[in-house]
Structure 1
Amino acid sequence: MSGLTSFTSVPVVDISGLRSGEPADRAAVAAEIGRAAREVGFFYISGTGLDPALFDTMLAATEEFFALPLDRKMASYIGLSSCHRGYVPTGEEGDHSPGSKPDLKEAFDTALDLPADDPDHLAGNPMLGPNVWPELPGFAEAVTAYYQAVLAIGRDLLGAFAIALGEDPDTFLRFATKTPSQLRLIHYWEDPAAEDVQGIGAHTDFECFTLLKPTAPGLEVLNGAGEWIDVPPLPDTFVINVGDMLELWTNGEFVATTHRVRKVTEERYSFPLFFNVDYDTVVAPLPQFADTDGPRRAPLRAGEHLFAQTAQIFAYLRKRLESGELVLPDGSVGVGTFGQGARLQPPAGGFAPTEASAALP
């Protein structure tokens, strides 16, 4: 099993070769991606072919939304949604233990926009259904156009991750047909005094991987020596990081590196698209990792893991759990089970329900 290096910077991978008709070009890009996934868990990508106007239009719409009065934003409050979509006010998300401070941000959560009569939504799936859209002309159209374009880049990357493992490109892609892949619009306020203020606490991402486009510095990743490394935005790139599901599929060969946002001294907008596979996909270590050192991790359903982690960090869902209105899926794990947390305290015998996931404080 590989491990994180004491990296001091994050590599840049030009992925234009993934659109080549030559298998050798795709393999060369995949090899770079695989190396970054094993040694860092983070990398930039350039050469995406994304039309910059899509980002600029979405950014303008996002700025307009977050400039609205709080009461208008709360009309789209995420707690009113039946499938986790909408406005996330400050204090809604994060560590809710006594004495903790709220993350200094607000957000708007979207995902695959399904019709209200979608069968999975009607059956009560907690992460699939229609988006919530504010009454703001052009907002839905701008966000949707960007979402679809970045999702297409994500599909190219998902195939490349498989190639990097020596697998068929469709190994993971065949499970990406109706995914609960979320796009978050996140706003951090300008705070010149924010030297040690937390924007988002240390965590890993719950899905397969993330495609991030930020407008200002603040992102930090934890290297193998326990040092926090700045990952500033670079022109014409996305930041990519491995998530929990790829770490599980590779039994830790690919690293879901712990990261955080801190010291946001200028106004910052951040747009992570969390690329996932289909809700009911059972994710377990691939056969090639069956005999690797260390415990073989127990399987999880991709969507259930996403929901369980979400329910443990969003206040409106925690209240429903504590009241008994909601119950976490069987086999749910506590927050912090992946990434460096898993390496410092590996779960004996694989992933089992933890105290944190069985009885929330």
Structure 2
Amino acid sequence: MADTKSFTSIPEVDISGLYSTDLEKREAVARELGDAARNIGFLYISGHRVDPTLIDGVRSAARDLFALPMERKMAYYIGRSATHKGYVPEGEEVYGTGRPDHKEAFDIGYEVPADNPLVLAGTPLLGPNDWPDVPGFRERAEAYYRAVFGLGRTLFQGFALALGLPENTFDDMAKYPPSKLRMIHYPYDAEAQDAPGIGAHTDYECFTILLADAPGLEVMNERGEWIDAPPRPGAFVVNIGDMLEVMTAGAFVATAHRVRKVGEERYSFPLFYACDYHTAIKPLPAFAEEDSGYEALKIGDHMWSQALQTYQYLVRKVERGELALPSGARGTATFGRLKK
């Protein structure tokens, strides 16, 4: 495995062994996952058992949604949502002081009933989705969500083994998580070299499982070079997020990435696998050091604070004093190779 300073490509791991009843086969896959997580923070996974018909379904659901007239899409504008879900128009997201992203999106959360105690308590990010009135949209989106969230659970078991932990260590940490599936549409842009699809950032959660159908994703190595991560048939891209970086005190790295030069129409579908909102994330005992620099974070507070600093409707609410950043909130771009 190339070290973090010199990698020029993203490794692929066949995770079919994680489904084996043979512990040695699961451990063999876990070693490969651990190598990629420590050295690069990005990898492709194959052998994942997600039915291709579900992938076709989520793609067709997204095409149907984004083909709607703007006024219909804006009826589901995320700024009208009580739980930060829905349609995200171009220009809504700005990472740090960068330019607005050149994309539109629809954000779908873990479906938590309105009478759930967490929702009744006003926990940010949690609650029912506001499903658009598009035939078959909810069914296709939910089927894909369930399958990929299940894949995330299996991957987390592999990461646990890679960290020398019992593989069920994280199983009970994601009962009602603020895990978001994003449908993202990058329109055709003849001047794409001047328009970032998504600015450089790390992901806030534990890890991300990404399906994309066109090139554009780039990953930063430690030299500050941008390395292409184009789609591979039958594979997902997985990348480490901020919370696994905290758990491992930086042993697993939340690698910065961006989408740029989107000269062709592009769809992507990241599912951000998170633990439950009130889960306190801190370095695991094997990585805990007094001077590690990684203080404990409540995963939901971190995710909410990043949203409050990125989505413009929330930025304006903070400026007006209607919302406040959670105590101990970190700024944007403070993990991985974007640390300030």
With normalisation by structure 2, the TM-score equals 0.97
Counterparts of 1:70 and 1:43 in 2: how far apart (Å)? 36
Select 1:218's aligned residue among 200, 216, 219: 216
Structure 1 residue 168: Cα displacement = 1.1
Q: Write the letter of the residue equivalent to 1:195.
A: Q
Alignment of 1:141-220 (within 5 A): 141-220=139-218
Partner of 1:41: 41
User: Which moved further from structure 2: 215-224 or 109-118?
Assistant: 109-118
After TM superposition, the structure 1 stretch with the greater mean CA deviation from structure 2, 114-123 or 157-166, is: 114-123
Q: 1 CA distance for matches of 2:5 and 2:30?
A: 19
Q: 2:225 aligns with which of 224, 227, 250?
A: 227
Shift of 1:96: 7.1
Q: What is the aligned-residue RMSD (CA, Å)?
A: 1.4
Matched, 1:320 2:322: no
Spell out the pairing of 1:54-133 with structure 2 (5 A cutoff): 54-95=54-95, 97=97, 101-133=99-131
Contact 2:206 2:243 in 1 (8 A): yes
Kept in 2: contact 1:106–1:186 (CA 8 A): yes
Structure 1 segments unaligned to the other structure (5+ residues)? 346-361
Note the residue ranges of structure 2 that are not aligned, 5 or more in a row: none
CA distance in 1, matches of 2:335, 2:6: 19
Letter in 1 for 2:313: Y
Q: Report the CA distance shift for 1:208/1:83 in structure 2 as closer, same or farther (over 3 A).
A: same
Q: Does 1:23 align with 2:20?
A: no
Q: Percent identity between the aligned chains? A: 55
Distance 1:306 1:187 in 2: 22
Q: Does 1:299 align with 2:296?
A: yes
Contact kept? 1:33, 1:164, Cα under 8 Å? yes
- How far did 1:285 drift? 0.4
Do the aligned residues in 1 keep the contact of 2:95 with 2:332 (CA within 8 Å)?
A: no
TM-score, with normalisation over the residues of structure 1?
0.91
Question: Do the aligned residues in 2 keep the contact of 1:290 with 1:296 (CA within 8 Å)?
Answer: no
**Counterpart in 1 of 2:8?**
8
> For the Cα contact (< 8 Å) 2:211–2:236, is it kept in 1?
yes
For 1:262, the equivalent position in structure 2 comes to 260
Contact 2:6 2:223 in 1 (8 A): yes
Q: Is the 8 A contact 1:209 1:241 kept in 2?
A: yes
- Structure 2 CA distance for partners of 1:228 and 1:181, relative to 1, 3 Å: same
Judge conservation of contact 1:285–1:296 (CA < 8 Å) in 2.
no
Residue aligning to 2:278: 280
Aligned length: 339
Paired letter, 1:12:
E
Partner amino acid, structure 2, of 1:106: E
> Does 2:326 correspond to 1:329?
yes
In the TM superposition, residue 213 of structure 1 has moved relative to its aligned partner by: 0.2
Letter in 2 for 1:70: M
Question: 4+ residue runs of structure 1 moved beyond 6 angstroms?
Answer: none
Corresponding residue of 1:359: none
